[in-house]
């Protein structure tokens, strides 16, 4: 529900939009709270953004950017060649940074549409959320991200004095290699065609159960629309006029919203993965986007197990 500002540029350029914060005593006049400090944004004149424990170690956004720059340098990657999307809440206290690796890691799974690694970095200085890093594959044609299929590869730590740059450097070195190995999975998904007689029924059941239970009926119907037609849809439900035969009926209106970039009627699991990625990446709330994106790998695994 908080307003969010988006900034674009490489890793050097987006640093200009990062605020600096400070912890200071939480007090009014001479009366001071013994248990809490207040975090203020010094870049905009001292706007208070949160109260935190006096023991809370403040890990600043600009410190995280330094971690990332060091890690990229260790990989031999030029940060000037990155492309970033930076999302900041109104007072800058929460950050979601997406970094696209434009050079050296691009690959085509077989449909002519390139994928590149994308690093997601989330941090807050309000004590409400941990510092997290995770990698995804970013599909250039539709600007979707599919999170790393290995759900154990996510780095998530509460702010503590033990958070050091070395932890992130180790994470990136290890997981950039791990996500590269997923190329084989995407290629296999692209090559394995869905059987029209058996697999389509399994796919429909998966949408009716797994997708519907996780994301709701209307979103499941959007997924089905993309898989069936290659187009996203707007789903509207409204009550029918009551009759003796139909007291609780309702009508569903499906309005096709246009082709999803790079989508087609589903022929394989890779097409399904792209449909889920599109839906999860196109939500009104960034928090909802992030939550749904994290759910996609497990949902795909459940579908793959059903098709085996």
Domain annotation covers residue 218: yes
Q: How confident is the model at residue 236 (pLDDT cuts 50, 70, 90)?
A: confident
Within-domain flag for 44: yes
Q: What is the pLDDT of residues 241-260, one digit of tens each?
A: 555 555 555 556 667 777 88
Average the pLDDT over 261-278 and give the result: 91
Q: How many domains does the chain have?
A: 2
Within a domain: 85: yes
Task: Select from 156, 182, 208 the last residue of a domain.
Answer: 182
The pLDDT of residue 250 is 54
Residues 276 and 156 in one domain: no
Q: Are residues 68 and 155 in the same domain?
A: yes
Are 230 and 279 contained in the same domain? yes
Q: Are residues 160 and 15 in the same domain?
A: yes
pLDDT digits (tens, 9 = 90+) for 172-192: 888 888 888 899 999 999 988
Whether residues 196 and 175 share a domain: the answer is no
The per-residue pLDDT for range 75-89, each reduced to its tens digit, is 888 999 999 999 999
Q: Compute the average pLDDT of residues 99-106.
A: 86
94 and 229 together in one domain = no
**Residue 72 domain flag:** yes
What local confidence, expressed as pLDDT, does residue 224 receive? 92
Same-domain status, 44 and 117 = yes
Domain around 241: 192-307
* Those residues with Cβ within 8 angstroms of residue 28's Cβ, 6 or more apart along the chain or in another chain: none
Boundary residue ending a domain (182, 204, 233):
182
> Percent of the chain beyond pLDDT 90?
60
Kindly state whether residues 122 and 232 are assigned to the same domain: no
Q: In this structure, are 109 and 168 located in the same domain?
A: yes
Co-location of 139 and 288 in the same domain = no
pLDDT computed for residue 254 by the predictor: 64
Residue by residue, DSSP assigns the chain as ---EEEEEE-TTGGGGG---EEEEEEEETTEEEEEEEEEEEGGGT-EEEEEEETT-----HHHHHHHHHHHHHHHT--GGGEEEEEEEETTS-EEEEEEEE-SS--B--SSS--EEEEEEEEEESSSSS-EEEEEEEEETTTTEEEE-S-GGG-EEE---TT--HHHHHHHHHHHHHHHHTTHHHHHHHHHSBPPTTTHHHHHHHHIIIIIHHHH-HHHHHHHHHHHHHSEEEEEEEEEPPP-SS-SS-EEEEEEEEEEPTT--S--BHHHHHHHHHHHHHS-SSHHHHHHHHHHHHHHHHHHHHHH-
Q: How confident is the model at residue 153 (pLDDT cuts 50, 70, 90)?
A: confident
Q: Are residues 121 and 32 in the same domain?
A: yes
Domain boundary (151, 182, 213) is at: 182
pLDDT digits 0-9 by tens, 214-223: 999 999 999 9
pLDDT tens figures, 20-29: 999 999 999 9
C-alpha distances out from residue 300 to 76, 205, 225, Å: 33, 13, 17
Position 240 confidence tier, pLDDT thresholds 50, 70, 90: low
Q: What is the pLDDT of residue 75?
A: 84
For residue 169, being part of any structural domain is answered with yes
* Confidence grade of residue 17 (pLDDT, cut at 50, 70, 90): very high
Does residue 187 form part of some domain? no
pLDDT of residue 223: 94
User: Does position 101 have pLDDT exceeding 70, yes or no?
Assistant: yes
Whether 141 and 211 share a structural domain: no
pLDDT tens for residues 50-75?
999 999 999 999 999 998 998 888 88
Mean pLDDT of 93-119: 91
The DSSP line for 255-278 is EEEEEPTT--S--BHHHHHHHHHH
């Amino acid at each position: 529900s908080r307003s969010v500002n988006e900034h674009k540029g490489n890793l050097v350029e987006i640093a200009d939009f990062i605020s600096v914060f400070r912890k200071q005593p939480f007090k009014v006049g001479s009366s001071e709270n013994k248990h809490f400090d207040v975090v203020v944004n010094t870049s905009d004149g001292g706007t208070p953004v949160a109260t935190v424990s006096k023991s809370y170690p403040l890990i600043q956004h600009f410190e995280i950017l330094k971690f990332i720059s060091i890690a990229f340098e260790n990989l031999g990657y030029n940060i000037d060649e990155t492309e970033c999307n930076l999302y900041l809440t109104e007072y800058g206290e929460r950050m979601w940074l997406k970094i696209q690796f434009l050079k050296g890691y691009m690959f085509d799974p077989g449909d002519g549409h390139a994928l590149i690694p994308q690093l997601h970095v989330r941090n807050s200085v309000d004590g409400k959320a941990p510092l997290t890093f995770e990698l995804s594959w970013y599909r250039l044609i539709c600007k979707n991200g599919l999170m790393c299929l290995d759900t154990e590869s996510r780095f998530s730590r509460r702010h503590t004095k033990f958070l050091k740059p070395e932890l992130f450097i180790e994470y990136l070195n290890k997981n950039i290699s791990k996500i590269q190995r997923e190329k084989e999975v995407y290629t296999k998904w692209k090559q394995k065609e869905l059987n029209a007689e058996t697999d389509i029924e399994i796919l429909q059941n998966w949408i009716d159960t797994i997708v519907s239970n996780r994301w709701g009926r209307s979103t499941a119907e959007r997924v089905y629309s993309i898989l069936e037609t290659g187009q996203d849809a707007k789903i509207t439900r409204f009550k029918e006029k009551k009759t003796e035969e139909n007291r609780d009926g309702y009508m569903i209106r499906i309005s096709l919203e246009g082709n999803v970039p790079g989508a087609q009627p589903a022929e394989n699991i890779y097409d399904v993965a792209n449909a889920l990625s599109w839906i999860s990446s196109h939500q009104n709330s960034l928090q909802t986007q992030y939550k749904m994106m994290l759910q996609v790998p497990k949902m795909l695994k459940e579908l793959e197990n059903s098709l085996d």
